[in-house]
């Protein structure tokens, strides 16, 4: 359960940094004593499998069978979203952090001036291009933020395709509707992570349907919607709707009982389906009431 911290201790030991290793070993011991869970899961994966963990909002972690770990779009605490990013998310070792765009609900608040310390040793990927991260091929595709938001950074949004275990997994960030050339650049997509919410905050329902028809993913994983159980105010975060009203109009909806799942090419469903994760249990509703603290993306 706390294997990620054990890896971190080993990492510091291998770097000959005994003080850091001791610090994290002490933290690990405290967690063990208190029986606390840092959220990360040790996946037992075959070579043709990938583990996906949903943290919350647009934030996921991928786990390959070779042990490669990738964190995508961690949000900033105390801005817009009412719930905080668990501290362990930026401590647990990953090989790369992938950021689709510099909004606070995707870049841990770096663009708005937060001093973000990324997980030790992680490569940080923000731009279009081809990257190799362990046994995962990462391709960033030029995109543009959905209308109405992101003018402060030129509406840059990079969509990412992850090739792992024979699967192609796309995370669209907050992208606008796709053009033909963008669809071509993304290539075939088996698993699609796309913003969906009942208030059509980023994409209209018909735009989501058009993207589904263009990419034909076998699995669609909705993201970037309101988590009512994590918010302390009925109209918070501003403008972001829940997922349930949209789901009631969809066919082949599979709700997971947890925040992790394993996928492989041979086990992809023959009929396209929507897979809804629970958010990670380590993401908690705050004790104090949180109302709007700015923007919205
Ligand atoms: Fe966003």
pTM more than 0.75:
yes
Average pLDDT for the chain: 92
CA–centroid distance, residue 286 to ligand 1 (Å): 20
Q: At what angle do helices 18-34 and 3-14 cross, to 10 degrees?
A: 170
E strands, the chain, in order: 49-56, 59-64, 69-72, 96-98, 123-125, 129-133, 136-144, 156-164, 167-171, 191-195, 219-223, 253-255, 260-264, 273-276
List, for residues 104-126, the tens digit of each pLDDT value. Answer: 999 999 999 999 999 999 999 99
CA–centroid distance, residue 13 to ligand 1 (Å): 37
Q: Are β-strands 253-255 and 273-276 bridged in parallel, bridged antiparallel, or unpaired?
A: parallel
CA–centroid distance, residue 80 to ligand 1 (Å): 10
Tokens of 32: 């063990």
List, for residues 50-105, the tens digit of each pLDDT value. Answer: 999 999 999 999 999 999 999 999 999 999 999 999 999 999 999 999 999 999 99
CA–centroid distance, residue 46 to ligand 1 (Å): 33
CA–centroid distance, residue 168 to ligand 1 (Å): 22
CA–centroid distance, residue 27 to ligand 1 (Å): 32
CA–centroid distance, residue 58 to ligand 1 (Å): 7
CA–centroid distance, residue 100 to ligand 1 (Å): 9
CA–centroid distance, residue 134 to ligand 1 (Å): 28
Question: Across residues 6-23, what is the average pLDDT?
Answer: 81
CA–centroid distance, residue 291 to ligand 1 (Å): 18
pLDDT at residue 193 tops 70: yes
């Amino acid at each position: 359960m706390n294997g990620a911290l054990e890896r971190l201790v080993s990492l510091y030991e291998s770097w000959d940094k005994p003080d850091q290793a001791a610090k994290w070993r002490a933290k690990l011991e405290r967690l063990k004593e208190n029986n606390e869970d840092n959220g990360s899961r040790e996946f037992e994966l075959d070579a043709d499998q990938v583990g996906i963990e949903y943290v919350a909002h647009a934030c996921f972690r991928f786990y390959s069978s070779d042990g490669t770990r990738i964190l995508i779009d961690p949000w900033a605490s105390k801005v817009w979203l009412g719930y905080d990013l668990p501290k362990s998310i930026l401590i647990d070792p990953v090989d790369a952090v992938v950021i689709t765009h510099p909004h606070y609900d995707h870049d841990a608040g770096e663009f708005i001036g937060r001093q973000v310390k990324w997980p030790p040793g992680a490569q940080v990927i923000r731009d279009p291009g081809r990257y190799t991260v362990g046994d995962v091929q990462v391709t960033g595709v030029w995109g543009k933020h959905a209308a109405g938001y992101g003018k402060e950074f030129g509406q840059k949004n990079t969509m990412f395709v992850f090739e792992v275990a024979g699967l192609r997994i796309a995370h669209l960030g907050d992208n606008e509707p796709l053009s033909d050339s963008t669809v071509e650049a993304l290539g075939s997509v088996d698993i699609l992570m796309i913003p969906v919410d009942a208030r059509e905050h980023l994409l209209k329902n018909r735009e989501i349907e058009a993207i589904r028809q263009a990419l034909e993913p076998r699995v669609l994983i909705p993201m970037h919607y309101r988590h009512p159980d994590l918010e302390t105010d009925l109209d918070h975060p501003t403008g972001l709707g829940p997922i349930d009203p949209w789901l009631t109009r969809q066919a082949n909806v599979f709700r997971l009982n947890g925040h992790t799942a394993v996928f492989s090419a041979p086990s992809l469903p023959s009929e396209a389906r929507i897979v809804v994760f629970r958010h990670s249990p380590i993401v908690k509703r705050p004790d104090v009431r949180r109302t709007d603290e700015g923007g919205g993306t």
